Amino acid sequence: MSSEKYAIGVDFGTESGRAAIVDVADGRMLATSVHPYSNGVIDERLPDLDIRLEPDWALQDPNDYIEVYKHAIPAALAESGVDPADVIGVGIDFTACTILPTRADGTPLCFLPEWRANPHAWVKLWKHHAAQPEANKLNAIAYEQGFGDIMDRYGGKISSEWFYPKAWQILDEAPDVYAASERLIEASDWVVWQLTGVETRNSCTAGYKAMWSKSEGFPPNAFFKALDPRLENIVDEKMTREILPLGARAGGLTPEAAAWTGLAPGTAVAIANVDAHVAVPAATVSKPGQMVIIMGTSNCHMVLGEQEAIVPGMCGVVEDGILPNMPGFEAGQSCVGDHFAWFVDNCVPAAYERQAEAEGRSVHELLEEKAAQLQPGESGLLALDWWNGNRSVLVDVDLTGLLIGATLSTKPEDIYRALIEATAYGTKMIVQTFKANGVAVDEIIATGGLPNHNKLLMQIYADVCGLPIYVAEAPQVPALGSAMHGAVSAGTDAGGYGDIVEASKHMARLREEHYVPIPEHAATYEKLYAEYVTLHDYFGRGANDVMKRLKEMKAGIQTG
């Protein structure tokens, strides 16, 4: 056994899982391997079954997660040349809220022949939105029955993506599946269970997605009874009240899991984490005032606070949800990279595609170059970034996109830049809402795919927000964060770290390149942002619900 020690981070995404081998001493990523899910996102019909799914469903096959362990970890080990005996810990992160029903021993119901044909027996992915009726009922009943103080911790609304609306949908639509579900569990905790043979629950998903509080625990049984008498004992019957902190040791690899992965039996496995939240210490952040934005198809905004505060429209505040003994705040935007992809896929003329192909680059790169030649305000356009609803601060999935100011001289690059600016305005709305409610945001650290590919976007965000923006160095930040937690779960005696803050000091770094606001651009964007706020409040706060009326009309015609 060598003196070098390594940790493995496994990042379970929406379409695939990624394993990374990381040097514990300095955070160097020696190798990564990606394994696509064979069934991907199941949103039309169940695999190998002629059973169609209703609109807004999004399921997954839990066997795909096991296949990540069997393929991605051995492949990364082989590429790195690391001796498995020198791997001291494994950590995982996962999308959330992604839940599945199982037997008491962890067997997913969808693995059993008697339940395989029932969609409710499968994994409900984070973007499963078919539980919106249950979310609406939860939000209304909670306030009617005097539980507003609990709701306030989550910005006033619980999303259809969260744990209880999804569990309640199972109960409403498939009570036999609910009855057979001896456990309802986050996929993050389930995949750790498969490695260790021990069921554990983590403070991150429990806090942000299942309304758990370090000081108060879960909502009282009376809360669930008010929702539906059949839900009164959901925590004790389907979950557990034992919540473990991030970085804790969930257990050691079982012989079966060791055979899957090629690692040594007994290797430490960390308590599960969420993909966005695990990125915070991997982006060097361990103190208040530094906002981490995970920028990709959507944006997730994470910031630590001095103390808990009620921030309207946020996804939640949880002590121990990101780092030990600190309140962590979460917010988000539902449509960012998806915004730009929609435009390129549907609205760019063939001439631009031909030019990009002739020059050997993507349409995105061509549009970025053309858009960068424009000055702020030059296009005369303004957009609202709600092509996929609004997550923060309005928390309304029924809002839609808006582009205003177009003329016959409007060009594709004008619109492309306006869409980038719209997402930056949405982030500024979140930043200002945090600040207005006592949560400091002094600088931004960006991670994810977009900072690696679009410098114009990063500069616009700096100009709009009026804040410096730094970029995390690691190419796969969530996987690094998971590996860091794996090193913490192994402990100092094994060559790891005593806590995640210490691990961050040694294993996380920022790039030298960063972005600072350009004063003249920032001044123009202040004026444009004021116009954005006017549109935001007019269409988003009930003055004109035309977006919702149009959406209802569309749905009526499509289903009629």
Mean pLDDT, residues 237-248: 97
pLDDT at 396 over 90: no
Task: Write down the pLDDT at residue 2.
Answer: 61
Q: How many residues does the chain have?
A: 560
| pLDDT band, very low/low/confident/very high, at 374 (cuts 50, 70, 90) | very high
| pLDDT band, very low/low/confident/very high, at 346 (cuts 50, 70, 90) | very high
Over residues 72-88, the pLDDT tens digits come to 999 999 999 999 999 99
- Strand, helix or coil at 151? helix
- Count other Cβ atoms within 10 Å, centred on residue 414: 21
Over residues 7-29, the pLDDT tens digits come to 999 999 999 999 999 999 999 99
Task: Write down the pLDDT at residue 428.
Answer: 98
CB 64 within 8 A of CB 14: no
- Measured CA to CA, the distance from residue 313 to residue 330 in angstroms comes to 10
Mean pLDDT, residues 119-130: 95
CB 274 within 8 A of CB 93: yes
| Burial (0-12, 13-18, 19+ Cβ within 10 Å), 103 | middle
Task: Write down the pLDDT at residue 478.
Answer: 96
| pLDDT band, very low/low/confident/very high, at 213 (cuts 50, 70, 90) | very high
Over residues 464-473, the pLDDT tens digits come to 999 999 999 9
Task: Write down the pLDDT at residue 50.
Answer: 87
| pLDDT band, very low/low/confident/very high, at 397 (cuts 50, 70, 90) | confident
pLDDT at 6 over 90: yes
- Measured CA to CA, the distance from residue 128 to residue 95 in angstroms comes to 12
Over residues 175-195, the pLDDT tens digits come to 999 999 999 999 999 999 999
Task: Write down the pLDDT at residue 502.
Answer: 97
Mean pLDDT, residues 320-333: 94
Please give the full DSSP string across 405-417, using - where no structure is assigned: ---TT--HHHHHH
| pLDDT band, very low/low/confident/very high, at 559 (cuts 50, 70, 90) | confident
Instruction: List beta partners, residue 29.
Output: 22
Task: Write down the pLDDT at residue 130.
Answer: 94
State how beta strands 469-472 and 299-304 pair.
unpaired
Mean pLDDT, residues 134-146: 96
The single residue listed with the structure tokens 């609202």 is 384
Task: Write down the pLDDT at residue 168.
Answer: 98
Helix (H) and strand (E) counts for the chain?
Answer: 21, 20
The single residue listed with the structure tokens 């259809």 is 160
| pLDDT band, very low/low/confident/very high, at 558 (cuts 50, 70, 90) | confident
Mean pLDDT, residues 120-127: 96
Task: Write down the pLDDT at residue 215.
Answer: 94
pLDDT mean across residues, the chain: 96
Mean pLDDT, residues 209-229: 97
- Measured CA to CA, the distance from residue 82 to residue 293 in angstroms comes to 32
Model's pTM, two decimal places?
A: 0.93
CA distances from 396 to 109, 207, 323, 408, 558 (A): 32, 21, 29, 32, 22
Greater model confidence, 257 or 551? 257
Mean pLDDT, residues 284-304: 95
Mean pLDDT, residues 86-104: 97
Mean pLDDT, residues 535-540: 98
CB 38 within 8 A of CB 61: yes
Instruction: List beta partners, residue 101.
Output: 184
> Domains (ranges, CATH) in the chain?
6-275 (3.30.420.40)
pLDDT at 1 over 70: no
- Strand, helix or coil at 91? strand
